[in-house]
Structure 1
Amino acid sequence: MHEAEQLTRFQSVIDSLTNPETGCPWDREQTPVSLCEYLIEECYELVAAIRAGKPGHACDEMGDLLFVLLLMARIFERSGSFSLGDALKMGADKMIRRHPHVFKEETCSTMSELMRNWAALKKEEQSASGEAIGILSSVPSSLPPLTKAYRLHAKAASAGFTWDDDEDVERQVEAEWLELLDARASGSAAAKEHELGDLIFTLVELGRRMGIKAASAADFAADRFRKRVESMESLARRQGKDFSSLSLDEKDELWNEVKSTEPAGAPQNPAVEFALPLQPSGDGAQ
């Protein structure tokens, strides 16, 4: 069955689920606002499947995400706001408009030029629509903290507001670390939180300059920690020991043993084999 037919079938399923008389009570009661939490949840589940390097699982999770999006679109359509077709047209028109080097005769000789043109086109669109056009106005305040920090740094850098070179950023990281130590010595909870935030924010920029997104790096680090602790617990059980009752030195021994069994030079992100490239804006924003 072709994609268009599958889309029609999916919409028919949604219509049946939301039928006022014969549909599912849960689906009938949903609104765009109530679906937001499920939209975010499904996005995270899809991201987890992709990062785990499991295309089959990613396909399943993508279907779940599409269900929420299509249900939301149908609700908007029934309220007279807009249809799925309107959203598809708007999205396609936007991509065509922002890629004149593909759909028109314009050319870009470098990636930097491409990114500048992309940013200029977005600024023109915002100006025409009456939106605020500050350099940071397109970064949503509701983004996850590390992603928001990355986007803010990327936007500021695109306007020339950043450190001159990587060494300057490294020195700033060192300075923020010393300020955090001073704050800890002061005993002020507010000062400690403030300085820790500054340190993390600066580390995000250092990572950005290295081609690393702090949110992904932290996510992979958390996953590695989880897997190692689970392996430590399993190893302790095989040795007839209760993990929680072990001393810190004994736990350290288990930690080192688990680490020693990990493949040397293994990629941190198993999903890199089928990862998609970023949009030319450099911050992933549309």
Structure 2
Amino acid sequence: MPTNADAPTSTTPLTTAEALDKLSGVIDSLLGDNGCPWDKEQTPWTLTDYILEESFELVEAIRNDAPAHSTAETTNEVMEELGDVAFLLVFVAELYRRAGHFSLADSFDYSATKMIRRHPHVFEDLHLGSKDELLSNWERIKRREKNGEGEAPKRVFDSLPKGLPPMLKAYRVNSKAARTGFTWESDEDQKAHLDSEWQEWLEAEASGDKERMQEEFGDYLFSLIEYGRRHGLKANMALEDANVKFLNRFCAIEDAARDGGRDIADLSLDEMNTLWERVKAKK
């Protein structure tokens, strides 16, 4: 029997439901009797690394499509990467359905129901006076809905994914703590704490004790991430922007060195700094 995957491509834009049906048809064909041997060997566990990889590619595409330099090409890249992630998610859901556990519809319905429950200020008559109240209420609802009959209340950080990269995890830890009210009363208080952590780092550095230095350096980074969060900045994104800026500028000084008939490895530090300042002045 032909599937949606076998149908000719139409120039008429598909609805979301039609496109999802088409994608499901493709996966049915891949997993069918005459399907792809590689795809038929996959399990949800073997696909996890691909989900991570494609998710990173999607994040990179979205960041490349930031409003300041968005183009038709960068937006199209987001569309493509979003589809790649969606393919893997639908693929995983189909594998679970075939194993008799749940369907994609079950997952979507569960998510919709959960979002309705967590937004009583939208779907019910609850009035919240501020964003802080909204976030605190969100955390209370999350902890309450995770409790089974007769179970002890869930802890605040039970929902924190263990596999988060450290910088992103530090941001989420600070954010969740703040939603419970466990944070500094003012930005000035938090800034004073950050300054205190810097002094502790300087003392550790002076001691030469590597273990102590690592601990205090970590404490300072943790506090610095909270400093950024309180100013509406995500450390992970800010650092990635800095990485990209540095790499672009370094490529530019490499090009400048080559234009002068030299390799960057042959330049002195003063020469590299001179080129670096020229590149900075152009940006």
- Corresponding residue for 1:164? 185
Distance 1:201 1:249 in 2: 34
Deviation at 1:116, TM superposition (A): 2.7
- The partner residue of 1:4 within 4, 17, 41 is 17
TM-score, normalised relative to structure 1: 0.86
Distance 2:152 2:90 in 1: 27
- Corresponding residue for 2:8? none
Letter paired with 1:193: Q
- Corresponding residue for 2:46? 34
Indicate the SS of the match to 2:100: coil
Pick which of 158-167 and 48-57 moved more: 158-167
Alpha carbons 2:143, 2:153 under 8 Å: kept: no
The answer to whether the aligner puts 1:152 opposite 2:173 as a matched pair is yes
- Corresponding residue for 1:107? 127
Deviations 1:48-97 (A, max 9, x none): 11111121110010011011111111111111121101100100111111
Deviation at 1:107, TM superposition (A): 3.0
Correspondence 1:22-101 to 2 at 5 A: 22-53=34-65, 54-101=74-121
Which stretches in structure 2 are left out of the alignment for 5+ residues? Answer: 1-13, 66-73
Distance 2:176 2:260 in 1: 53
Distance 2:121 2:222 in 1: 35
Distance 2:223 2:157 in 1: 17
User: In the superposition, relative to structure 1, how do residues 28 and 12 fare at CA in structure 2: closer, same or farther (>3 Å)?
Assistant: same
Distance 1:29 1:186 in 2: 56
Deviation at 1:154, TM superposition (A): 1.2
Indicate the SS of the match to 1:23: coil
- Corresponding residue for 1:217? 238
Distance 1:110 1:32 in 2: 40
Compare relative contact order (CA 8 Å, sep 6+) and give the higher one, 1 or 2: 1
Count residues with an aligned counterpart: 261
Deviation at 1:203, TM superposition (A): 0.2
- Corresponding residue for 1:248? 269
The answer to whether the aligner puts 1:125 opposite 2:138 as a matched pair is no
Deviation at 1:113, TM superposition (A): 2.8
Which stretches in structure 1 are left out of the alignment for 5+ residues? Answer: 263-286
Pick which of 171-180 and 74-83 moved more: 171-180
Distance 1:121 1:164 in 2: 24
TM-score, normalised relative to structure 2: 0.87
Deviation at 1:131, TM superposition (A): 7.3
